[in-house]
Amino acid sequence: MAERPKTPLLDQIDLPSDLNGLTDVQLRMLAHELRAETISAVSETGGHLGAGLGVVELTVALHAVFDAPKDKIVWDVSHQTYPHKILTGRRDRIRTLRQKDGLSGFTKRSESPYDCFGAAHSSTSISAALGFAVARDLGGEGGDAIAVIGDGAMSAGMAYEALNNAGHLKKRLIVILNDNEMSIAPPVGAMSSYLSRLYAGDPFQEFKAAAKGAVSFLPEPFQLGAKRAKNMLKHITVGGTLFEELGFSYLGPIDGHDMEQLLSVLRTVKARATGPILIHAITKKGKGYAENRADRGHATAKFDVMTGEQKKTPSNAPSYTSVFADSLIKHATKDNKIVAVTAAMPDGTGLDRFMSRFASRCFDVGIAEQHAVTFCAGLAAGGMKPFCTLYSTFLQRGYDQIVHDVAIQRLPVRFAIDRAGLVGADGATHAGSFDVAFLANLPGFVVMAAADEAELTRMVATAVAHDSGPIAFRFPRGEGVGIEIPDDAQPLEIGKGRMIREGTGVAILSFGTRLQEVEKACEALAAKGITPTVADARFAKPLDRKMILGLALNHEALITVEEGAIGGFGSHVAQLLAEEGVFDKGLKFRSMMLPDIFIDQAGPHEMYEIASMNAEHIEAKVLDVLNVDVIGKHA
């Protein structure tokens, strides 16, 4: 275990109110201690390190100047909030981050009154903070509303919708643009270039001191010089013109690691601001520890503080993500119509490797899933074969576009859905629970789930060959099962499942990678003299009607198993059986799916334990449906 650093100032801080008695010099010292404590804690737990290190000084300054929780500090995405958690009464639990029954890796309203708004997806903070500001002015709770949003999150349309509305309403609202030129991947798009121009070269260096004056809110006699600096900055580098046209007063850019500047600007804004104001702070992701790494320490496993070496468990099989990427690259080598699109996650989705091979056919659109989906629709309408490659949890953000721009027009967009099912330490906000339910109800959609890495390669081939409408395939986080991957994976017949093993009495119909747990359950059941039939559905839509009805008519009971929420695969099977009158013939039907709750962070196996979907639970379900006691005889 990493040695806990000696932090005499930090030991005096239980809540943000304890910062009130500290001098500015002590606040700067506290920031150094807070950074060390954050590094030490994450070395033991793993997690999002770089983002938090980049806002240490800003976190201290915000809590020193404002009065949380009366003042509402809304952190966009919120994976940068480990330092915030340490200062808000949770230091004694910080080494439980992202673990079962521990602290969430994101802000969470039920965890602390200082987490005024829960987040884990990007670009929501300005909307939420504006809501707090309007609620305040209508007699609701709270004082100031402060949104802290990264430059990467500014690539999403929702941020501009909020800025536009805030500028129109003219409420007192403080937006801090935490500009580190780095979200998960380097930010892309015109906004990134625009922000870069705001502080490129000499102007930023010359006007850092002027920024301390917070420009239009300075008392005399400093206003004249500050205004000159602001005007010069605007004319030389275009300045904050975009934000000012949206109705915001623009301050900056300022050095987000200079405590003196931060405190001066925040205090002046608190005292003088009347309408919406945007403070542009330049920071370094990973500041003080990981700022020179390629990913700036975005996400890390447990690591050695001295060497930075991560303590990862050796892998015995390739990850599903890498299998998908390798398969797509093989097809793209032969088919120049294949293009790939991701939303700020090239590394996480494996498309960084695709991009290195086919730079002109791979597009990172930034944190803009709605745009990604409709962009793919346009590509498909233009004769290309687009693979819209997103995590399940992020695909949710493009649902209207999936319905309106893809499904209704029957465009052959291929959806490669990563992180399907329960994903572990990121908890409920990142669980891939709902994609089967919200895709399989759309007319003309084909929805598949891979049971193993070999099946995944066949589903990629199926998607490449499918040109008659939208098609989706899902696969989980983590490594595969170690099965041999064919070099020439052939497309599947649409709507055709496969039999895994023949048995009697009960049939288990699996959809997705729970098939491995089904197999384990069957081994345990064999010792009790029970030999279930097992089938892999492969498709939630269209269903393999012949196979499913055969299983239902030739067995006493049928159990479906899936890594998705209520309303998904099992519901479609139940609908088929009901329409065909199978229940009238006495079939016992059970459906195992994720429970109707949001499951908090834990290890993936632990989460499936909570969901009652591991091998022992499948075994128990079989015994229950057959009314078999523990001795193995019918009760």
**Domain-embedded: residue 613:** yes
145-150 vs 446-449, strand pairing mode:
unpaired
DSSP per residue, 181-227: S-SSS---SHHHHHHHHHH-SHHHHHHHHHHTTTGGGPPTTSHHHHH
498-501 vs 446-449, strand pairing mode:
unpaired
pLDDT at 28 over 70: yes
| Rounded Cα gap, residues 38 and 86, in angstroms | 8
| Rounded Cα gap, residues 535 and 547, in angstroms | 9
Query: Is residue 210 domain-shared with residue 112, that is, in the same domain?
Result: yes
Catalytic residue among 369, 517, 563, 619: 369
For residues 499, 502, 507, 509, the Cα torsion angle rounded to the nearest 10 degrees is -20
The number of folded domains in the chain is 3
**Domain-embedded: residue 489:** no
> SS3 of 165, please?
helix
**Domain-embedded: residue 456:** yes
**Domain-embedded: residue 41:** yes
Query: Is residue 470 domain-shared with residue 534, that is, in the same domain?
Result: no
Nearest to 148 by CA among 79, 80, 60, 75: 75
Query: Is residue 66 domain-shared with residue 135, that is, in the same domain?
Result: yes
Q: How many Å is the maximal CA-CA distance in the chain?
A: 92
Which pLDDT value is given to residue 544?
98
pLDDT at 306 over 60: yes
Query: Is residue 215 domain-shared with residue 148, that is, in the same domain?
Result: yes
Catalytic residue among 72, 285, 287, 541: 285
**Domain-embedded: residue 416:** yes
Distances 622 to 354, 502, 564, 585 between C-alpha atoms, Å: 43, 15, 20, 19
595-610: average pLDDT: 95
Q: What's the CA angle centered on 423, arms 417 and 429, to 5 degrees? A: 85
Query: Is residue 213 domain-shared with residue 350, that is, in the same domain?
Result: no
Query: Is residue 49 domain-shared with residue 118, that is, in the same domain?
Result: yes
| Rounded Cα gap, residues 155 and 172, in angstroms | 24
| Rounded Cα gap, residues 12 and 91, in angstroms | 11
**Domain-embedded: residue 485:** no
CATH number of residue 511's parent domain:
3.40.50.920
**Domain-embedded: residue 5:** no
pLDDT at 44 over 80: yes
CATH number of residue 414's parent domain:
3.40.50.970
Query: Is residue 146 domain-shared with residue 242, that is, in the same domain?
Result: yes
pLDDT at 236 over 80: no
Question: Among residues 282, 307, 336, which one ends one of the domains?
Answer: 282
> What does the block give as tokens for 247?
């109705």
389-414: average pLDDT: 98
Catalytic residue among 397, 414, 419, 474: 397
Residues in the chain: 635
Query: Is residue 336 domain-shared with residue 258, that is, in the same domain?
Result: no
Query: Is residue 470 domain-shared with residue 520, that is, in the same domain?
Result: no
**Domain-embedded: residue 248:** yes
> Is residue 369 annotated as a catalytic residue, yes or no?
yes
Query: With contact defined as beta carbons under 8 Å apart, do 248 and 166 qualify?
Result: yes
Q: How many CB atoms lie within 10 A of CB 19?
A: 20
> Is residue 556 annotated as a catalytic residue, yes or no?
no
Supply the range of the domain harboring residue 71: 10-282
Query: Is residue 100 domain-shared with residue 242, that is, in the same domain?
Result: yes
539-541 vs 446-449, strand pairing mode:
antiparallel
DSSP code of 386? E
Question: Among residues 230, 259, 282, which one ends one of the domains?
Answer: 282
Query: Is residue 457 domain-shared with residue 565, that is, in the same domain?
Result: no
Query: Is residue 465 domain-shared with residue 511, that is, in the same domain?
Result: no
Q: What is the average pLDDT value for the chain, to the nearest integer?
A: 90
Q: For 557-580, how does the pLDDT look when each residue is reduced to its tens digit (9 = 90+)? A: 999 999 999 999 999 999 999 999
Question: Among residues 474, 506, 524, which one ends one of the domains?
Answer: 474
Query: With contact defined as beta carbons under 8 Å apart, do 361 and 338 qualify?
Result: yes
Q: For 89-120, how does the pLDDT look when each residue is reduced to its tens digit (9 = 90+)? A: 999 999 999 999 999 999 999 999 999 999 99
Nearest to 389 by CA among 408, 372, 403: 372
